[in-house]
Amino acid sequence: MSFSKKIAAFDLDGTLTESKQPLSVEMAELLVKLTAVTKVVIISGGSYAQLEKQFLPFLPRTGLVKDNLILLPTSGSQCYEYDHHSGQWKITTEEGFPADVKARVMAVVKEIVESGQYEIPPQRWGEYIEDRGTQITLSALGQEAPIAEKQKWDPDQRKRRKIKAVLNARLPEVDIGIGGTTSLDILPKGFNKAVGLKRLTERFGYRLADLAFVADEVFPGGNNYSVFEAGVETIRVNNPEETASVIKDWLS
């Protein structure tokens, strides 16, 4: 099966990599081959700094990859494209919070975590509330938590759904999605991954129908679900191995 769309978009954690883990050699090679035939978009709840750590260093430094690769960190509320003149990835669009909303979100999230009512353990690995500029992310176990701990904390999203319901009631001025294995991503009202992808396709004169999206955990309330709801052809995977199989099929 060859690839028939104009853009191939991928979630990152759980789709191209394990949570917060480096891109594998095999996945890097497959993405390089895919950029030879279509534009590739990486849309992640993570920050650009996380992409610099987890994703970009493991791709070959070739002009074709850079020309056909677009990065949408913080659920697409930021867009990075490669600038050959400066030799750097540069932000080209951004959707931010009003300052007063951001301050309120940070205060409410901190209050909820410290209340001890939501099964968030007192022991955490690194920062647990991260200001990613255009997105605020709660990582219940901390940003540097071991994968094994993350995977067993909330596998059915029950704990995060409970927290999300409280946040939705107290923060109607934002949108909230469940992401990764332990995270909640908080974005400006009306913004989600579908909006980020729609804005990108419009910049290139395309439609959402010209895009295919590959992601894990596509479920109501999750930060990938908005793309599926928008009618984008969505291929659901359970892990990076299944994503590799999808790309191989496209390249066959």
Domain range list for the chain = 7-95+191-251, 99-188
* Fold designation for 7-95+191-251: Rossmann fold (3.40.50)
- Centre a 10 Å sphere on the Cβ of residue 156 and count the other Cβ atoms it contains: 7
How far apart, in Å, are the Cα atoms of 37 and each of 130, 219, 221, 250?
Answer: 36, 30, 33, 10
Domain 99-188 part of CATH 3.40.190.170: no
pTM > 0.95: yes or no = no
Q: Indicate the DSSP class of residue 219.
A: -
Tens-digit pLDDT profile for residues 155-212: 999 999 999 999 999 999 999 999 989 999 999 999 999 999 999 999 999 999 999 9
Tens-digit pLDDT profile for residues 102-135: 999 999 999 999 998 999 998 889 989 999 989 9
Burial degree of 14 (CB within 10 A; 0-12, 13-18, 19+):
buried
Q: Residue 196: which of 12, 43, 50 has the closest Cα?
A: 43
Domain 7-95+191-251 and domain 99-188, same fold? Reply is: no
